[in-house]
């Protein structure tokens, strides 16, 4: 895996033997006729459209029809590309990934975070009642009820961390003293839930999902499959032809995301909070352990494995986030642009070599006999506070998005406000203001807390070790490592300050709009009252006109007087 070659060996070999490389392009095109020149089902319509657009009939084709014909022609191109991909030599490393037979990846566990600001605290209390996490805890005397501990913690007098409960799957070998047995998603064996109190107004729930054997090996099985080119159909878009490499990317990443979806769906169903209420995915982190490849010992020559790592969703190959608290593990964020199945998700991964990590962790035997699960359990002890920090960053992103949506919606409805909409707008701003004010006060206390029951790994962002060694050998200026934890906190503080100012401005504008709206409503009501009065007068006059006036009535006397004057 880590070959002992000079750093520029691979580069020099590529430059000297370029002429001897197989002509993969020529071979593939030699096997497949160009589009429109064969007898395949798409050749005839392609030739016909080309004839309409470029031969004599083109003068009779209206200008507005020509783009539609071109679109049909372009719609057929992916089918030709698909046939070309099928004819391509699978040995070409530019169109296929190559996973060594003795390399395997295991995912022993993953973590998801849900936040409960003041606007969502009722949802957490409902989760306590629904899931029955307190039943066995109280019956066997292992602790107070969750509702009691939550209420005390949110007044600043309780615990900063406590276990909410444990859930074991039916037939699962996982056993906890006060766990609840229920049917879990197919790849999840057990779940441990813990609560972390941030100040007095924000509660975080961190769930540690233990994957069963099938779930741990699910991605590895897909990773090692022989993938063939496929056509991907998408709604309202033309088909897309994937070669072997991108088929492997898509299917392997989809397999990994299926595990994430199972965990997130369970959280949304059993313990929904702020992210679920706003239709967002919960921040999630999983652990990927490799048998052979070690990112810490990687060299320049190991770039040939990067495509296989990208299929897993790992694209951080030059910049590493590492921590002395979790030795030989690398923290990476899954990039949605490079890994489309994860686009829009907030997904992180801890990955490394199983043997290297196991040898560097002290007292690992206390966490289990099997190294992979023991590593996951050991990491769980210190990850919770860091996961909460990542969750808070995503929480602020959701608030920023909600403010933007309300602002733009208010602008689009300008001049068409109704009292009901203003009431709804004020309620939305009130909820967000309450959540934002609470978290801005609590975050400082949480991050200034020196002593915590659960530690927090301190991650440092730096170049990969092989790049650092090359820089030192070439006497290049050293990159100054960045404290990633401090960086995230600094960004969060800056965003909170910006949001508080925006919230203040929006509330002032909303108050002005509400005041103007009230004045307009008052004016409209007074004008309506005037018209109602005039209508009442008209009705009364009409009534008098058709009423039979008696001889002894006052109106009869007035009528006689008028006749005498005019007569």
pLDDT tens-digit readout, 156-178? 888 888 989 899 998 888 777 77
CA atoms of 315 and 16, how far apart (whole Å): 29
pLDDT band at 138 (very low <50, low <70, confident <90, very high): low
Stretch among 251-255, 305-309, 419-423, 537-541 having the lowest mean pLDDT: 419-423
Q: Are residues 495 and 556 in the same domain?
A: no
Q: What are phi and psi of 461, to 5 degrees?
A: -95, 125
What does the mean pLDDT of the chain come to?
85
Angle (CA) 419-423-424 rounded to 5° is 120
Let me know if residue 412 belongs to a domain. yes
| Structural element, H or E, at residue 330 | strand 326-333
Closest CA to 370 of 211, 133, 159: 211
What separation in angstroms does the CA of 89 have from each of 26, 84, 93? 11, 10, 9
Let me know if residue 337 belongs to a domain. no
Q: Are residues 415 and 446 in the same domain?
A: yes
Looking at per-residue pLDDT, the higher value among 405 and 1 belongs to: 405
Q: Which pairing describes strands 202-211 and 188-198: parallel, antiparallel, or unpaired? A: antiparallel
- pLDDT at position 225 is 96
Q: Are residues 510 and 529 in the same domain?
A: no
pLDDT, tens digit, for every residue of 261-292? 999 999 999 999 999 999 999 999 999 999 99
Report how many domains make up the chain: 3
Angle (CA) 34-35-40 rounded to 5° is 110
Let me know if residue 443 belongs to a domain. yes
Q: Are residues 534 and 453 in the same domain?
A: no
Q: Are residues 494 and 548 in the same domain?
A: no
**Among 43, 71, 87, where does a domain finish?**
87
Q: Are residues 401 and 508 in the same domain?
A: yes
pLDDT band at 557 (very low <50, low <70, confident <90, very high): low
Looking at per-residue pLDDT, the higher value among 412 and 456 belongs to: 456
Examine the pLDDT at 300 and tell me if it is beyond 50.
yes
Let me know if residue 201 belongs to a domain. no
Let me know if residue 303 belongs to a domain. no
Let me know if residue 517 belongs to a domain. yes
Dihedral of CA 165/169/171/172: which sign? Answer: negative
Let me know if residue 492 belongs to a domain. yes
Let me know if residue 47 belongs to a domain. yes
- pLDDT at position 101 is 94
- pLDDT at position 418 is 59
Q: Among all chains, which residue has been given the structure tokens 């949480």?
A: 446
Q: Give the residue numbers spanning the domain of 35.
A: 23-87
Q: Are residues 539 and 486 in the same domain?
A: no
Q: Are residues 503 and 449 in the same domain?
A: yes
């Amino acid at each position: 895996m880590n070959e002992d070659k000079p750093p520029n060996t691979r580069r020099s070999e590529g430059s000297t033997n370029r002429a001897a490389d197989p002509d993969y392009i020529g071979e593939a095109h030699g096997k497949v006729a160009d589009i429109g020149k064969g007898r395949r089902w798409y050749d005839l319509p392609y030739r016909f459209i080309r004839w309409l657009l470029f031969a004599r009939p083109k003068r009779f084709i209206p200008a507005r029809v020509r783009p539609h014909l071109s679109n049909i022609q372009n719609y057929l191109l992916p089918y030709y590309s698909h046939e070309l991909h099928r004819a391509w030599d699978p040995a070409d490393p530019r169109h296929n990934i190559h996973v060594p037979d003795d390399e395997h990846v295991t995912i022993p566990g993953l973590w998801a975070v849900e936040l409960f600001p003041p606007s969502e605290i009722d949802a957490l209390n409902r989760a306590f009642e629904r899931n029955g996490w307190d039943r066995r805890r109280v019956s066997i005397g292992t602790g107070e009820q969750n509702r009691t501990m939550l209420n005390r913690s949110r007044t600043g007098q309780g615990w900063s961390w406590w276990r909410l409960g444990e859930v074991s799957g039916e037939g699962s070998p996982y056993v906890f003293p006060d766990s609840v047995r229920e049917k879990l998603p197919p790849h999840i064996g057990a779940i441990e839930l813990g609560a972390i109190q941030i100040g007095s107004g924000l509660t975080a729930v961190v769930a540690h999902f233990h994957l069963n054997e099938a779930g741990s090996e699910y991605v590895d099985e897909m990773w090692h499959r022989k993938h063939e080119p496929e056509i991907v159909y998408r709604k309202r878009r033309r088909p897309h032809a994937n070669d072997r490499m991108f088929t492997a990317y898509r299917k392997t990443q989809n397999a990994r995301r299926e595990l994430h979806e199972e965990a997130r769906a369970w959280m949304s169903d059993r313990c929904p909070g702020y992210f679920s209420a706003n239709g967002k995915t919960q921040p999630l982190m999983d652990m990927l352990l490799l048998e052979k490849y070690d990112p810490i010992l990687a060299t320049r020559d190991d770039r040939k494995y990067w495509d296989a790592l990208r299929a897993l969703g790992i694209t951080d190959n030059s910049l590493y986030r590492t921590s002395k608290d979790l030795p030989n593990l690398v923290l990476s964020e899954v990039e949605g642009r490079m890994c489309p199945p994860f686009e829009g998700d907030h997904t992180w991964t801890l990955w490394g070599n199983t043997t290297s990590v196991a040898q560097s962790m002290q007292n690992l035997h206390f966490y289990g006999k099997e190294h992979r699960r023991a590593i996951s359990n050991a990491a769980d002890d210190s990850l919770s506070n860091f996961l909460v920090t990542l969750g808070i960053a995503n929480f602020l992103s959701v608030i920023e998005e909600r403010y933007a949506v309300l602002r733009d919606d208010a602008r689009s409805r300008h001049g068409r406000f109704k009292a009901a909409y203003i009431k709804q707008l004020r309620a939305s701003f009130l909820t967000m203001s309450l959540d934002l004010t609470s978290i801005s006060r609590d975050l400082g206390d949480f991050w200034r807390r020196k002593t915590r029951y659960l530690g927090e790994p301190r991650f440092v962002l730096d170049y990969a070790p092989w790049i650092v060694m090359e820089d030192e050998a070439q006497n290049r200026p050293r990159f100054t490592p960045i404290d990633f934890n401090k960086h995230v906190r600094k960004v969060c503080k800056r965003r909170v300050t910006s949001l508080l100012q925006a919230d203040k401005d929006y509330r002032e504008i909303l108050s002005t709009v509400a005041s103007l709206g009230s004045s307009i409503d008052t004016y409209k009501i007074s004008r309506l009252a005037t018209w109602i009065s005039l209508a009442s007068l008209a009705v009364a006059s009409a009534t008098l006109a058709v009423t039979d006036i008696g001889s002894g009535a006052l109106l009869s006397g007035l009528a006689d007087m008028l006749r005498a004057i005019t007569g």
